[in-house]
């Protein structure tokens, strides 16, 4: 399947492998930092405790264009004014990673796993509580690491009529500031692109010095922190160490007393002098000064009565498609639209085109070898028309429309976490739905939105979805002989089977796929040219991929029937049909011919049994077993052809074996309990 090319700008050497930067998400509780992590995280997340104590951090790899990052979600911190609770250990990891300096090597709780110090700090701030979070930003700026600010909850700030001048805030902090709405995925693509740029440039924030009257009183303390022996032992920026020694009686104060008792005495003297010279104790004065500078910064970059961002209909649409709760309603509406195309539009087109072609060819029943081969070729072309006309064209057009309009990206973002349970990303949601119509366009759509391991796993799982042809058999036979409850049970087996096999596939395909940043593009009305061009791009190879196998398979099966090989086929399949499934031996041929087109199976079942009233030949257990097996075993030959094209011979054959094996196991699991109960 040829796919449209993707281009990414190269601004320097790729940051992958050993060059992959480590990015730590920091911030106060309830700012949305964990939402940002979950939106970007892969299906495989590592959980560890900092030095074996405190709350766990989470880590995963994330793809950002052609670059990669190691993304770490650290426990929430509110301030470094008073190092209590979990704050000291978080601060140690921000400063040193797992390579603690001399002053920390005597502690009982040492690093238990590799944890390199972060290269970039990603500070998440709440736009509705900006003044509070600005104090933490001023403190983090002293650590001296590149920093990017995610100004989150911009939608709530807008609703409160609060305007924040993002450019001015960025200039005053000296760090990039990116507005985001994390729970809707808005701004996250720009955010992580900015993170990569910050990692590549390695530029630290603008120093945020205290007010001059405080700086003057802190000069002796800064002198102590900058002494060569102290600076070496603490291995941290001296400006940050000086602030900690000046305002806290906690961790760093105690370590200085233990390791440098003579400098500790000088520190106490300097603090006493500052306390006497200032209106308040030095610690309180530093804290009040930071609060005051944050308030001034807040007033400089905000004003009430903010402008409305974008048309109202766009905000309503985002509430429908991206809201954590309402977003599922919007996604269900899109899913319902796809199902409408599958069961209504596609069925209508099938009745107008393919059904008439089948009826036209039905009277032609040649008996000579040449006629049999010619009829088989015609059946192959009819099979191709049955894929392309009712299913491929309308469903691919719908998929392209949803992509071009920006809706599909929003649906993928909302359902992403659910698909993570299968080890996949949310981008496969609509291809999965398309599989209910026909597996072939679903596989083509999967190729367009996935790659690598995700493409393989998604393609394997899609073959277990009952396409419309299989659904028609389930509805026709199940509805007549098993009742509504039986049909409901048959259809409910599909998601259960997909979930279970998805979990089993994790062992064959380990979850090493990095996370992806799902871009939320602006809404757009697709042009007719874009719709037609992209539809053709995704559909043109179907003829060359599917048609040869359809025709070849049709000829082979027709020749087998022509030369009277039916009895031999039934005999060869006896271990499956009779011994394992408990079905009549004559159903071997319908099972085999089902790989050409599933709807042929129903007609051939009636022919093999010699009646259209199956209840007189098969009991309820046999009907249920046959329908379950037909639902999950070997996808049709056109689906197998797509698997060959997308995944190669090895994985296509594995799909074949997996389908047959799963169908046999599931059918037996249905048969044996029913035989005991009925």
pLDDT in tens, 295-312: 889 888 988 765 545 567
C-alpha torsion 276→279→280→283, nearest 10: -80
Write down the pLDDT at residue 194. Answer: 94
Give residue 422's pLDDT.
67
Confidence category of residue 26, pLDDT binned at 50, 70, 90 = very high
CA dist 97 and 617 (Å) reads: 72
Residue 192's pLDDT is what?
92
Q: Report the pLDDT value the prediction gives residue 127, as an integer from 0 to 100.
A: 92
Could you say which DSSP state residue 23 is in?
E
Q: Residue 675 pLDDT > 70, yes or no?
A: yes
Residue partners of 651: CB distance under 8 A and separation at least 6: 456, 459, 460, 643
Tell me the Ramachandran region of residue 608: left when phi exceeds 0, alpha when psi lies from -120 to 50, beta otherwise: alpha
At 344, the pLDDT band (50, 70, 90 cuts) reads confident
- The answer to whether the beta carbons of residues 74 and 91 sit under 8 Å apart is no
Cα 536 to Cα 534: distance, rounded to the nearest angstrom: 5
- Asked if residue 457 lies in contact with residue 465, where contact means CB atoms within 8 angstroms, the answer is no
| pTM tops 0.85 | no
pLDDT(589) > 90: no
pLDDT at 6 over 50: no
Q: Identify the H or E element spanning 356.
A: helix 354-361
Question: In which band, very low, low, confident or very high, does the pLDDT at 634 lie, cut at 50, 70 and 90?
Answer: low
Helices (H), 161-227: 166-173, 188-201, 212-225
**Cα(343)–Cα(390) distance, integer angstroms:** 10
Cα-flanking dihedrals φ and ψ of residue 473, to 5°?
-65, -45
Q: What domains lie within the chain, and their CATH numbers?
A: 20-209 (3.40.50.300), 212-304 (1.10.287), 319-512+531-677 (no CATH)
> What is the reported pLDDT for 177?
95
User: Is the distance from CB of 248 to CB of 83 less than 8 angstroms?
Assistant: yes
Predicted confidence at residue 602, as pLDDT, reads: 58
pLDDT digits (tens, 9 = 90+) for 462-473: 888 887 667 767
Residues 6+ positions from 355 with CB-CB distance below 8 Å: none
E strand or H helix that includes residue 385: helix 369-387
Residue 526, pLDDT score: 85
Compute the average pLDDT of residues 137-154: 92
Residue 394's φ and ψ, nearest 5 degrees, are -65, -35
* Sequence-ordered list of residues with C-beta below 8 angstroms from that of 644, at least 6 positions apart, any chain: 545, 652
Tokens representing 152 are: 């989150």
Contact 127, 162 (CB under 8 A): yes
pLDDT tens digits along 35-58: 899 888 766 778 777 776 767 788
Q: Which residue has the tokens 């693509």?
A: 189
* Portion of the chain with pLDDT greater than 70, in percent: 86
pLDDT value of residue 302: 87
Which of 291-300, 490-499, 628-637 bottoms out in mean pLDDT, i.e. has the lowest?
A: 628-637
Least-confidence region, from 129-133, 161-165, 321-325, 478-482: 321-325
pLDDT band at 612; cut points 50, 70, 90: low
Residue 440, Cα to own-chain centre: how many angstroms?
23
């Amino acid at each position: 399947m040829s796919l449209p090319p993707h281009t990414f700008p190269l601004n320097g050497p790729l940051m992958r492998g050993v060059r992959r930067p480590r990015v730590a998400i920091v911030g106060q509780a309830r700012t949305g930092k964990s939402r940002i992590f979950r939106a970007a995280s892969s299906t495989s997340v590592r959980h560890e405790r900092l030095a074996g104590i405190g709350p766990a951090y989470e880590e995963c790899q994330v793809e950002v264009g052609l670059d990669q990052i190691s993304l770490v979600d650290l426990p929430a911190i509110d301030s470094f004014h008073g190092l209590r609770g979990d704050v000291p250990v978080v601060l140690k990891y921000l400063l040193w990673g797992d390579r603690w300096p001399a002053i920390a090597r005597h502690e009982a709780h040492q690093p238990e796993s590799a944890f390199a110090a972060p290269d970039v700090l990603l500070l998440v701030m709440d736009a509705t509580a900006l003044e509070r979070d600005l104090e933490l930003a001023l403190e983090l700026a002293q650590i001296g690491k590149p920093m990017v600010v995610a100004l989150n909850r911009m939608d709530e700030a807008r609703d409160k009529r609060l305007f924040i001048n993002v450019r001015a805030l960025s200039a005053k902090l000296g760090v990039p500031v990116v507005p985001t709405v994390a729970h809707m995925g808005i701004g996250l693509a720009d955010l992580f692109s900015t993170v990569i740029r910050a990692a590549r440039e390695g530029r630290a924030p603008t120093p945020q010095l205290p007010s001059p009257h405080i700086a003057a009183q802190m000069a002796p303390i800064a002198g102590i922190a900058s002494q060569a022996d102290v600076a070496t032992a603490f291995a941290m920026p001296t400006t940050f160490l000086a602030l900690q020694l000046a305002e806290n009686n906690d961790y760093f104060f105690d370590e200085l007393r233990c390791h440098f008792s003579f400098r500790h005495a000088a520190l106490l003297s300097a603090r006493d002098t500052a306390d006497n010279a200032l209106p308040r104790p030095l610690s309180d004065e530093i804290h009040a000064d930071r609060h005051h500078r944050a308030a001034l910064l807040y007033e400089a970059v905000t004003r009430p009565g903010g402008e409305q961002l974008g048309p109202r209909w766009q905000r309503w649409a985002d509430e429908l498609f991206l809201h954590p709760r309402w977003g599922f309603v919007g996604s269900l509406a899109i899913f319902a639209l796809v199902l409408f195309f599958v069961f209504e539009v596609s069925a209508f087109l099938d009745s107008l085109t393919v059904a008439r072609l089948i009826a036209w060819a039905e009277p032609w029943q040649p008996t000579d070898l040449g006629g049999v081969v010619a009829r088989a070729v015609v059946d192959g072309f009819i099979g191709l028309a049955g894929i392309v006309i009712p299913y491929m064209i309308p469903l691919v057009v719908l998929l392209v429309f949803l992509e071009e309009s920006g809706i599909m990206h929003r649906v993928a973002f909302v359902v992403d976490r659910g698909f993570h349970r299968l080890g996949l990303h949310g981008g496969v949601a609509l291809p999965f739905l398309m599989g209910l119509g026909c597996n072939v366009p679903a596989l083509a759509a999967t190729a367009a939105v996935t790659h690598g391991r995700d493409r393989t796993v998604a393609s394997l799982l899609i073959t277990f979805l009952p396409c419309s042809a299989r659904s028609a058999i389930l509805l026709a036979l199940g509805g007549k002989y098993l009742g509504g409850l039986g049909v409901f049970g048959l259809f409910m087996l599909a998601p259960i089977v997909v979930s279970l096999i998805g979990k089993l596939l994790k062992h064959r395909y380990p979850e090493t796929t990095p996370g992806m940043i799902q871009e939320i593009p602006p809404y757009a009305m697709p042009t007719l040219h874009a719709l037609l061009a992209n539809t053709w791009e995704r559909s043109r190879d179907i003829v060359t991929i599917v048609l040869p196998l359809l025709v070849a398979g049709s000829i082979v099966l027709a020749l087998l029937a022509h030369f009277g090989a039916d009895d031999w086929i039934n005999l060869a399949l006896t271990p499956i049909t009779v011994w394992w499934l408990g079905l009549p031996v004559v159903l071997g041929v319908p099972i085999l011919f089902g790989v050409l087109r599933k709807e042929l199976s129903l007609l051939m079942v009636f022919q093999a049994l010699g009646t259209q009233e199956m209840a007189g030949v098969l009991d309820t257990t046999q009907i249920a077993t046959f329908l379950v097996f037909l639902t999950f075993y070997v996808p049709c030959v056109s689906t197998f052809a797509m698997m060959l094209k997308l995944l190669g011979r090895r994985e296509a054959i594995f799909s074949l074996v997996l389908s047959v094996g799963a169908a046999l196991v599931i059918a037996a699991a249905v048969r044996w309990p029913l035989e005991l109960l009925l």
